[in-house]
Chains A and B, each alone.
Chain A
C-alpha cells in the first residue's frame, strides 16, 4: 500500500505546478499510469482524496489514463502489446523480450485549473 506516498507526491507536484501558473482553483489532475507501474488504480484513487485534504487540491479529482504495456520484439522489429504482463513476449512470433517500452510510467500530464 504505497499508493498513499505516491498520492502525496502527486498532490505536492500538482500544487507546485498550479501555483506556478497562478491557479486559483484546481479541478482535476490527469495522470498516466502504466499497467506495470506497480501502482493499483483503485488504491491510488482512494489515497488521492486523503492526500488532498487540507491542500489547495481538496475537492479536485484524479483522472487516470491507464497505459498498456508495450514491448519491443527484436525478431519482428516492432513495438507491440505482449499477451499480458505475465507473459512478456511477442504476440505474433512468441519471442520473449525484456524490452518494455511503455507501461511503467506514473506521470502527471495535465491539470485542469481556473485562473
Chain B
C-alpha cells in the first residue's frame, strides 16, 4: 500500500487540559467562597517565612489554610503547621512546578466551605510555574532584596503573569544595597501598573499594609460573588 504524505490542520492548545481543570477549580473555589492566592518566587526568597507570618496574622481574622509544593521534603509544611492553620503538602518529586491536577488532588476530602482564604505556595522556580494556571484569584510574585533589582527583567514571563509583587526581606535592604526605585521600575516595565508591596516577615514591617491589600481584594471578590447571584 502506498502512503500519501499530507499536512492536516489541527489547532489544539497544549495547555488545554491544565487550563480546563484550572477553570473547574476556580469555579469550585468561587462556589465555596474561597479566595485563592498563589505564591511564586525563586528558591530562598522567603516564601515560607512570609507565608507563616501571613497565616499567623490572618488566623484570628478569617478561616485560612495553605497548600505547599516542594520538590522533595515536607519541611515547609512542618514549619507552616506552627501557624496552627490547616496545611497540606504536595511533594512533586522531580517536577519543578505545581499544576492544576496536583491542586485538585491536594483538595481531596477538604471542606472548602469552611475556608475564606487558601494560599498555594508553588515550588521555588521563576520559570516553569508561569505556564500553569492553578485556578487562583491572585498570583503573588515574591522577590527578596538580596536577589537584585533586575530579577523581573530576567524572568519577565512570570512577573507578567503575576497580579502583585511583594519585595521580601526589606530589613536587609540596606545591607544588600537594594535599590527600591530600580526594582519598581523593572517590575513596571514587565507588568505595567502592578501593585508592589514591601515586607519583612522577620520584623513584621509592611505586614499591616499587606493584610489591608489582601482584605480589599477579598472584599472585591465577595462583591463579585454577590453580584453573580
Q: Do A and B come from one complex?
A: yes
Nearest 4 A/B pairs, CB to CB: A96-B192, A2-B128, A114-B3, A38-B130
- A24 CB within 8 Å of chain B: yes
Chain B neighbourhood of A1, CB < 8 A = 96, 128
- B156 CB within 8 Å of chain A: yes
A5-B95, A36-B157, A96-B188 in contact; A111/B131 too (CB < 8 A)?
no
The answer for the CA separation of A24 and B2 in the assembled complex, in Å, is 11
Contact with A along B1-42 (1 / 0, CB 8 A): 001111111111111010000000000000000000000000
Chain A neighbourhood of B4, CB < 8 A = 114-115
The answer for the CA separation of A29 and B171 in the assembled complex, in Å, is 51
Q: Binding site of B, secondary structure by majority: helix, strand, loop or mixed? A: mixed
A1-B96, A2-B127, A36-B157 in contact; A108/B12 too (CB < 8 A)?
yes
Assess whether B128 is in contact with A89, with CB atoms less than 8 Å apart.
no
A38-B128, A86-B189, A88-B192 in contact; A109/B6 too (CB < 8 A)?
no
- A55 CB within 8 Å of chain B: no
Residue of B3, B9, B17, B160 near A88 (CB, 8 A) is B160
Chain A neighbourhood of B8, CB < 8 A = 17, 21, 110-111, 113
The smallest beta-carbon distance between A87 and chain B, in angstroms, is: 5
The smallest beta-carbon distance between B72 and chain A, in angstroms, is: 15
A110-B8, A113-B8, A114-B5 in contact; A98/B193 too (CB < 8 A)?
yes
The answer for the CA separation of A87 and B7 in the assembled complex, in Å, is 37
- A25 CB within 8 Å of chain B: yes
- B158 CB within 8 Å of chain A: yes
- A80 CB within 8 Å of chain B: no
The answer for the CA separation of A3 and B193 in the assembled complex, in Å, is 30
16 inter-chain pairs at a CB distance below 8 angstroms, sorted by A residue, are A2-B95, A2-B128, A17-B8, A17-B10, A27-B5, A31-B14, A37-B131, A39-B131, A85-B160, A86-B153, A88-B160, A98-B193, A106-B131, A107-B13, A112-B6, A113-B8
The answer for the CA separation of A112 and B168 in the assembled complex, in Å, is 49
The smallest beta-carbon distance between B95 and chain A, in angstroms, is: 7
Assess whether B12 is in contact with A17, with CB atoms less than 8 Å apart.
yes
Contact with A along B160-191 (1 / 0, CB 8 A): 11000000000000000000000000001111
A1-B96, A17-B12, A107-B13 in contact; A113/B192 too (CB < 8 A)?
no
Interface residues of A in 73-115 (CB under 8 A from B): 85-89, 96-98, 100, 105-115
Assess whether A6 is in contact with B189, with CB atoms less than 8 Å apart.
no
- A10 CB within 8 Å of chain B: yes
Residue of B11, B95, B191 near A98 (CB, 8 A) is B191
Residue of B7, B97, B190, B193 near A111 (CB, 8 A) is B7
